[in-house]
Amino acid sequence: MISREPTIERLATARALLLEPFGLDESHLGRALAEIRAHRVDDADLYFQYTRSEGWSLEEGIVKTGSFSIDQGVGVRAVSGEKTAFAYSDDISEASLLDAARTVRSISAAGQTRKAQVALKKIARSRALYPHLDPISTLGSRDKVQLLERAERAARARDPRVVQVMAGLASEYDVVLVARADGTLAADVRPLVRLSISVIAEHKGRREMGSAGGGGRFGLAYFSDGQVAQYVNEAVDAALLNLESRPAPAGEMTVVLGPGWPGVLLHEAVGHGLEGDFNRKGSSAFSGRIGERVAARGVTVLDDGTLADRRGSLNIDDEGFATQRNVLIEDGILKGYMQDALNARLMGVPRTGNGRRESYAHVPMPRMTNTYMLAGQSDPQEVVASIRKGLYATNFGGGQVDITSGKFVFSASQAWWVENGRPLYPVKGATLVGSGPEALRRVGMIGNDLRLDSGVGTCGKEGQSVPVGVGMPTLRIDALTVGGTA
């Protein structure tokens, strides 16, 4: 069997799913782009997408629901200055393409007389970060059900206090094709899977929950018996720990964040403020501060869409450009923002491969991929031992941030009260309140144990949701307000 270069293979898959069944080829896409360029526009693209998704969920010992869906369509965009015109359709045909093209070109006045065909001859540079496969077909339906049932049995067998188990298995096969007005053609085939497990434990009338899970851009074979057991143990351990928790103290104190998923605080409190659109409009706490110190020495924050198999990674972004490893903050100095094509052009800076959209029915905007802080030099045990009185938070639930001020509120779903370097007891109801820029400046110690999350993150912005990754090492913030329940 002769295999093709991955970029060519992805283009072939995209053509087979998104063009050929509808009697289309590159010449039809070029004609639609030429219709848009009949008016003066700064940029234009066509975004075709085919998505097949499947989900299974277990509750009360049985798989209660299963879902399967197919969605496909095309989004047509024209950009003139700061203005964007956008149309989309789930009807992929030459007629709908041309109709959408004529609609969006009205964003700019007519003036160009040429309507020459756009020749799509330039194949976009891309990467090969994950396998070219349909994850839904990597495991049979019966095996998927049995996987969830094994997880449920294992959780109940761990401890008699486990009274309820919920588990979900999701798979998605996403194929995209991007045609740009400059003649660039790009495609991607994006597998995505996720397994989630939640348990409720009860003791003496008190109930507490624990959750765990993970996934990424690969097939369902990743969820081996050992991997499922790890998620089960993490979920059960979290629920049992919370059964022993006490009300959290309140006030300003030293807070240590554990490695991995607590990086969601970095994502929300700092990452969104470093997206290009907020900074172009001057609405971010980081606006106009390139080259300034915005964090303590040793703090280096990256957004990297090139990590193999990661949930937030992409071979190309949703504008057809290769993703990158972008240094946002280096040793405390602000180095740059995350950019899509529109904001990069208006700000006069290079694109960073961060143009993302939820689907063909949405416009792209600058979004994070995998955002994390690099490791420092300290032993993580020494970081915790350095707390005189404070909080050690190892897992987080929901949170929110105000981009303009950088202020955030986060709830810790798993945390310990620490005195004289010793974790004394788990606490419940701890809420971290602060400002992203101020928290970065108050970083006192950085562990050497950088860890990425297990592959569960989804980021929302302006009504659009996209898969992302987060990560960080153990981190000490010397003063942070904790809203407790004590």
Per-residue model confidence (pLDDT) at position 106? 87
CB-based burial label for 390 (10 Å; 0-12, 13-18, 19+): buried
pLDDT at residue number 424: 96
The pLDDT assigned to 379 comes to: 98
pLDDT, averaged across the chain: 94
Span 108-117, average pLDDT: 61
Please tell me the least confidently modeled range out of 36-40, 107-111, 125-129, 275-279: 107-111
Token pair of 478 as six digits: 């010397």
Is residue 95 within 8 A of residue 101, CB to CB? The reply is no
Least confident among 104-118, 309-323, 352-366? 104-118
Output the six-digit token pair for 473. Answer: 């090492």
Percent of the chain residues topping a pLDDT of 70: 97
- What 8-state DSSP symbol labels residue 125? P
- In tens, the pLDDT along 292-313 reads 999 999 999 999 999 999 999 9
What is the pTM assigned to this prediction?
A: 0.95
- Position 361 scores a pLDDT of 98
By CB atoms closer than 10 A (0-12, 13-18, 19+), residue 92 is: buried
Of 398 and 435, the structure prediction assigns the larger pLDDT to 435
Residue 259 has pLDDT above 80, yes or no: yes
Q: How far is it between the farthest Cα atoms of the chain? A: 79
- Higher-pLDDT residue of 406, 104: 104
In terms of Cβ atoms closer than 10 Å to its own Cβ (0-12, 13-18, 19+), residue 345 is middle
Model confidence pLDDT, tens digit, residues 43-58: 999 999 999 999 999 9
Question: Are 35 and 46 a contacting pair, CB within 8 Å?
Answer: no
Q: Which helix (H) or strand (E) holds 72?
A: strand 62-80
Report whether pLDDT(113) > 70: no
